[in-house]
Chains A and B, each alone.
Chain A
Amino acid sequence: MQTNRLLTLAKQALLTFTVSLILFAPISGLVLEGFSFRNELTRAVLLAALVAAGRVALSLVGMTAIGRKIAGKAASNGSGVTVMTGKEKSPALILGLIFLAGLSLPFFADKYFLGIAILALIYCLLGLGLNIVVGLAGLLDLGFVAFYAVGAYLLALGAQYLGLGFWSALIIAPFLAGLCGMVLAFPVLKMHGDYLAIVTLGFGEIIRLVLNNWLEFTGGPNGASVPPPTLFGLEFTRTAKQGGVPLHDYFGIAYSADYKFWFIYLVLFLVVCLVVYAVERLRVMPLGRMWEALREDEIACRSLGVNHVFTKLTAFMLGASTGGLAGVFFAVHQGFVNPTSFTFFESALILAIVVLGGLGSTVGVIAAALVLTILPELLRDFAEYRVLVFGVLMVVMMIWKPRGLVRVQRPAFFPSTAVKGAGTAPLSASPEAVR
């Protein structure tokens, strides 16, 4: 038994050592010097030995009782969907506390942290929007950043050509982005999976390329500036530039550049809360149920009389609208937009948020959005290894939690008095269960 274990350990160590040596030898073992290579193989061997030692340590932990417990927990997390029992405590108190904490954050946070919080909330919005399309309706959309760009450019170009302000853009953006969502959705109605992904990827690139190359209208790579927001005619700048009164003059307080960020944060926070509420409501409404049913089985849906055109269009449009909203906040926060903010990397990041959070889970998406925006900031100390560490963490997360951070829970419905006796009696006490 003991020798068996030792043998497995040795095998694992040898395998890990060999694989990592193959990987490290060319990367860190050979250093380019002029036109020749300098041999630094000892470094590669050391690194490989380190990795092998780590592997052995991991196996040793896995052999102890505690390690096995953790592994078992992680494995059991990966399977199945649960349905709520309906006997869960109402989360109203916790939600209320989170709401208040969110509202009061600007009073505690410094400007740097508030900036990250705004960015995190913007990604929350984007994640929630894409979650409708990918998580609920099951339509893989790789060009989601297009709608984000539409929202952002609506504010920038609207201000430039039509004199739109922050508030009017905030109202128009969901409609315009939703319209773009519809334009994309019509040609892809009959597509599934990979094919759909490719078309949406193309759509995202088209929008970016148009923004990049239509110099006269969008300003091309030079971008476009975005006016600062106003609140009922009060401005957040030191001196009034848009024909209003500066906020600090109106209230007779000292000027601070932070007020603008406080304002953006608070409006954004309220919008995120509203969207979360809407999405949670939609999930228990017939429309949300149709989305999820369509994701599971389109043929069964159509035979049940689900209008799949309408259902897919609404999913695309509502997702796109949310993306458009996020774009407006991004533009007003940055004060400037240009096409480099809307590359495929952004789409991939938003998709990562949805997948890591757990497809279809609102709480998971919010958690993932917070983690994925705050994590790179915390990793600033690692400078150039930031993206590497980020990638490794994502891989590790997917191994441990293949269904995302938060498991999806099906909402539970309860029979009212119309169903005989089922309303109050617990399941175990029903006559069928006893029989």
Chain B
Amino acid sequence: MSEAPLLEFSGVRAHYGPVEALKDVNVHIIKGEIVSLIGANGAGKTTLLSSIFGAPRASSGKILHRGEDISRLPTNRISRRGIALVPEGRQIYQEMSVEENMMMGTTPIGMAHFEEDRATMFDLFPRLKERRNQTAGTMSGGEQQMLAIARAMMARPELILFDEPSLGLAPLVVKRVFDVLREIAAMGKTIFLVEQNANHALKLSQRAYVMVNGRIHLSGESAALLDNEDVRKAYLGLH
């Protein structure tokens, strides 16, 4: 490894009560990379992602961000280090307007860059500009996903964690979401993507991890994984 990783899981274990959800996980993400994590339902993908924010906290092992262990930090301090999460199922504020949702995204850095960043986001998502004074809950699933991404981007994060951004969206919209991810990566952001849609995820990312039952089962270049016989059978539905 030539470069120090931006985020690194080293020997992380996490439990939900007596159930061990993460078993000695080692993952690293280098600045500027797109890394994806694929796996079946219940493999522990979302747990790995949310353990960065301390829900659940790692019961042993370290989560290093720029070389510092963040696994014991309060949640609100973690997002101030330039890590943003686009949560599974979007989790936008349904009853607040689109613009208020975006304002909430600025919480870690304050409102100083709000107008500039909003303009950038409105360029990226013209639909949000149209609907900026609409309650977020009245928008379509795809639009809500766009809003969740815009909200995360408002904090000017260095690293963005995406938890299943394609969940419950129509194929065309999924394609649009992945286009947006590509654009965001082009802005110089580091992306850690958790997906069940292995095909799209592997085509987007440079490196990928495959998770099975709380362990990292396989890892490597995405292109190589796309050709891997096991991966093709298990996650791509190809033979």
Contacts and interface: CB of A to CB of B under 8 A. Distances in A.
Given A84-B133, A286-B107, A430-B129, A297 B91 contact: yes
B93 A305 contact: no
Given A286-B103, A302-B76, A432-B129, A293 B122 contact: no
A347 B149 CA distance: 42
Interface size class of B (residues with CB under 8 A): 35 or more
B164 interface: no
Contacts of A293: 93, 96, 104
B97 A410 contact: yes
B76 A296 contact: no
A310 to B, nearest CB: 9
Contacts of A307: 74, 76
Residue of A289, A292, A300 contacting most chain B CB atoms (<10 Å):
A300
Contacts of B135: 80-83, 410
B95 A419 contact: no
A83 B134 CA distance: 6
A216 to B, nearest CB: 44
A411 B98 CA distance: 11
Contacts of B85: 303
Contact of B122 (A85, A303, A422): A422
Nearest to B116: A418
The contact size tier of chain A is 35 or more
Contact of A410 (B80, B100, B151, B155): B100
A86 interface: yes
Contacts of A416: 115
Interface in B114-148: 115-116, 118-119, 122, 126-127, 129-130, 133-135, 138
Contact of B115 (A297, A305, A419, A427): A419
A306 B34 CA distance: 27
Contacts of A408: 95
Contact of A300 (B77, B91, B127, B130): B91
A266 to B, nearest CB: 37
Contacts of A81: 95, 135
B93 A297 contact: yes
B126 to A, nearest CB: 4
Interface in B50-108: 53, 55, 74-80, 84-85, 87, 91-97, 99-100, 103-105, 107-108
B169 interface: no
A308 interface: yes
A297 B148 CA distance: 13
Given A290-B104, A410-B135, A300 B87 contact: yes
Given A293-B93, A410-B97, A415-B118, A86 B133 contact: yes
B4 interface: no
A292 B107 CA distance: 14
A418 B119 contact: yes
B170 interface: no
A289 B119 contact: no
A304 B133 contact: no
A94 B118 CA distance: 34
Contact of A302 (B53, B119, B151, B155): B53
B53 A296 contact: no
A299 B74 CA distance: 13
Contacts of A412: 97, 99, 133
A196 B84 CA distance: 30
Contact of A419 (B92, B94, B96, B122): B122
B111 interface: yes
Given A301-B104, A410-B95, 13 more contacts: A81-B95, A83-B133, A290-B107, A292-B95, A299-B87, A300-B87, A300-B92, A302-B53, A303-B84, A305-B75, A306-B107, A416-B115, A432-B126
Interface of B: 53, 55, 74-80, 84-85, 87, 91-97, 99-100, 103-105, 107-108, 111, 115-116, 118-119, 122, 126-127, 129-130, 133-135, 138, 151-152, 155
Pairs A-B, 7 closest by C-beta atoms: A305-B79, A418-B115, A305-B108, A300-B91, A432-B126, A302-B75, A307-B76
